[in-house]
Structure 1
Amino acid sequence: MRDPQIDYAAVFRALPGMVALLTPDLVYVDANDDFVRLAGRTREQLLGRYIFDVFPENPNEPAAAGMRETQASMLRVVATGERDTMALLRYDIEDPQRPGHWEEHYWSPVNAPVHGPDGRVALIVHRVEEITELIRARGGPGGDTHAGPAADTRARVLEAELYTRARELQEVNERLRTAHAREREVALALQAAMLPAPRPVAQHQAAVRYRPAVGALNVCGDWYDLVDLPGGNLAVAVGDVVGHGLAAACVMGQLRSALSAACRVAGGPAPALDVLGLYARSVDGAESTTVATTFIDWDDHSITYSCAGHPPPALLHPDGTVAFLDRATDPPLGARPEHVPRPQARTPFTEGAALVLYTDGLIERRTEDIDTGLARLADALTRHRRSDPDALADALLADLLPPTGATDDTALIVLRL
């Protein structure tokens, strides 16, 4: 069958319930028929106008907060790219036929993002359930007064209780958002302080990147490191702590420092991971951390590597072919009940190749097999094989991370050999 030709503009107009579309600047660009009818405004009175010019706050209600809370919800959608559900809200509407006369209204709003091709929020879907009649039916203002004084009193108490609990829930949500935002800010600052800045590696070029997840606390479990070894060689490592937030950032800092020290004294990446694994058993939250470690020997042009449950490093050859270093993979830290020495493997490289280490946020998607993500990475490396490390790192992030942002943080190292 041929795909049906659907008039989505007509579908939008016919949607049951009040739905409007606004720009990120909170200007109306469209509204469905129910919104126009129930809001008591014509389409011409809505389109192209700022929402709070059309629906200002009731000046006769000093404690009214409908405009402030609606604005805050919509701006959160623009900032986070995530849906925001508001609690029960009183927001009175001025009668356009009788200026200065305000009608009491109760609403249950939801604001949702529509993302553009660049991943940013292009539109806000503002859906509103008008529940004024429900409140009145429960005995609120303008409700039925024929049920008797006792019933009327009980209904008004129920209405007040419902409204009060909804306001309390909204306030709790606001406090949680503030606390989460603060923890994210502190965790990211701690992460930035503990991760090394990019630096020259002898005559070789290196680029590092860290991209936090879009979720409020899904950050700060990933790290990268470049460690100078005796004889002018280099160790390059990435790791991923299972947790998120401040706790993960603290564990990450301990493990990164421990691995950095172990690499300087161990005879190879596997012995370094052995030391790290033993240390991780004494660190709360370090269990199941994944790590990939490589030792680069410039003299004999070889890479020795070992992975503890981590996605394999990628070696981009000058001709554009990609090899994944997957011959020395073992379980994550602390996964075995008894300590077992880890394996390591060695592979040669030619001058002009590139070594890429990364965390799973770059390649893994919940709906895909990991091999799909690895194939996508290999394809991107081949297409951008002539780029310098900085350009290659940026290209990988642009090609592989979702335009709306990843749900897990991502660390990345690109080293031209």
Structure 2
Amino acid sequence: MKYSGIDYEAVFQALPGAVALLTTDFVYVDVNEAFLRVSRRTRDQLVGRYLFDAFPDNPNDPAATGRQNLEMSLRRVADTGERDAMALQRYDVGNPDRPGEWEERYWSPVNVPVLGPDGRVALLLHRVEDVTELIRARGGHDGGDRARVLEADLYTRAIELQEVNERLRQAHAREREVALALQAAMLPASGPVGRRVAVRYRPAVGSLNVCGDWYDLAELTGDRIAVAVGDVVGHGLNAAGVMGQLRSALSAAVRVADGPAAALDALGLYARSVDGAESSTVVQVVVDHTSHTLTYSSAGHPPPALLHADGGIEFLDQATDPPLGARPEHVARPQSDTTFTEGATLVLYTDGLVERRREDIDTGLRRLADCLTRHRSADAETLADTLLRELIPPNGNSDDTALVIVRL
């Protein structure tokens, strides 16, 4: 049930857990009452202040790592848009009324991104639980030697976990490098279709979610070219291998099939025999320069955009069908066409260009349309670079992106 008129400021303040809102530069925007209680600070001592000015490391403890660990976690959340639950942290807190006095404190923090309307990280939600009393209780009434032993044990386990994570990260990085090299070897350049075409592939940042996106260009008879973009479910080497098979199969099919729908029919039948190809999406467009016609068919893929010479935008969404292998039985794909005038631009892309988490796809399509209209006079190469610069978050995306621009 949806309620209107909710006072979310009151809800925020009433939350039983200690929660703070930070900018992506780590300045306090707001804190709730529970956060003020556990931190023993007033609102004036926090709101508007830099986090690590309000809570610096204990200068009397040369081994203190609380600030470093928290800053790394927050920066990771700001850069990736992914939540991060930190390991148990010792982060001593100074007494605001008695400068120079520090209290040993233990925290269990979770950091979460808050996305803005454009899908980018706008704020950081920092939730902490004070577990100091729990640590002291397990260490004895005086919080003495047993507490220090427990702290050392927790620290050792955290170091061991970090070492395991580092080995996994290195293994993932090697797989990513190999997959990207394989991807680059299999994706074509704009090639013989001329300088009026620009192609781009932008891998995901800091993620193995790469090498599932692809594009293809083919010259056909009768002053026609075929342009396709697709997206394989999966990532890494497996996705790169499946991508290569699907791209090659469609490139061959479109040269002999009677139109894009027939080419996707053939690809769909072939995909049933390829492990990992199910639920892949693809769109195929044939550009006929003689008749000034675009003929297209889509298997569950975001619609190509046709930028008319006057700045109007037309999304090619009249021949959309489910992804490859989504139906238990084979059904012929739909096909549609539209006309264009000289000076128009065709844009094919994968979902990394327009989709953002917890955002409706229509919002991303509106961003794309607005960007295309504003830059309608740009050549293909300039427009491709502009779309990537304006539509992909500055710190990169968690999904890879393929893009093809054709000036008609």
Above 0.5 in TM-score?
Answer: yes
Q: How many residues align?
A: 402
Look at both structures and tell me which one has the larger radius of gyration over its CA atoms. Answer: 1
What do residues 91-131 of structure 1 show as CA deviations (whole Å, max 9, x unaligned)? 344667484x7643221112234556776555544332111
2:316 counterpart residue number: 324
Alignment of 1:54-93 (within 5 A): 54-56=55-57, 62=63, 65-93=65-93
Is the CA contact 1:140–1:156 (under 8 Å) kept in the aligned structure 2?
Answer: no
Cα 1:141/1:215, change in 2 over 3 Å: farther
Is the CA contact 2:23–2:124 (under 8 Å) kept in the aligned structure 1?
Answer: yes
Shift of 1:292: 1.8
The one-letter code of the counterpart of 2:82 is: E
Alignment match of 2:402 (pick from 386, 411, 414): 411
The one-letter code of the counterpart of 1:82 is: E
2:43 is equivalent to residue 51 of structure 1: no
What do residues 342-363 of structure 1 show as CA deviations (whole Å, max 9, x unaligned)? 5655554433333333334556
Give the SS at the match of 1:79.
helix
Please tell me the root mean square deviation across aligned C-alpha atoms, in Å: 5.0
TM-score (norm 2): 0.71
1:221 counterpart residue number: 212
2:132 counterpart residue number: 132
2:299 counterpart residue number: 308
The whole-number CA distance in structure 1 between the counterparts of 2:279 and 2:259 is: 22
Give the SS at the match of 2:139.
coil
Shift of 1:216: 3.4
2:274 is equivalent to residue 273 of structure 1: no
Shift of 1:86: 0.6
2:288 is equivalent to residue 297 of structure 1: yes
The whole-number CA distance in structure 2 between the counterparts of 1:210 and 1:397 is: 10
Shift of 1:243: 2.0
Identical columns (%): 64
The one-letter code of the counterpart of 1:253 is: G
The whole-number CA distance in structure 2 between the counterparts of 1:310 and 1:11 is: 40
Moved more, 221-230 or 390-399: 390-399
The whole-number CA distance in structure 1 between the counterparts of 2:142 and 2:217 is: 71
1:149 counterpart residue number: none
TM-score (norm 1): 0.70
Alignment of 1:2-401 (within 5 A): 18-20=18-20, 22=22, 24-26=24-26, 38-39=38-39, 48=49, 51=52, 54-56=55-57, 62=63, 65-93=65-93, 97=98, 99=100, 103-114=103-114, 121=121, 123-140=123-140, 142-143=142-143, 187-188=179-180, 190-198=182-190, 201-202=193-194, 205-210=196-201, 216-264=207-255, 266=257, 268-318=259-309, 320=312, 322=314, 324=316, 326-327=318-319, 331-335=322-326, 344=335, 347-361=338-352, 376=366, 380=370, 383=373, 386-388=376-378, 390=380
The whole-number CA distance in structure 2 between the counterparts of 1:325 and 1:11 is: 42
Is the CA contact 1:384–1:392 (under 8 Å) kept in the aligned structure 2?
Answer: no
Any gaps of 5 or more consecutive residues in structure 2? none
Shift of 1:224: 1.6
The whole-number CA distance in structure 2 between the counterparts of 1:216 and 1:159 is: 33
Moved more, 384-393 or 231-240: 384-393
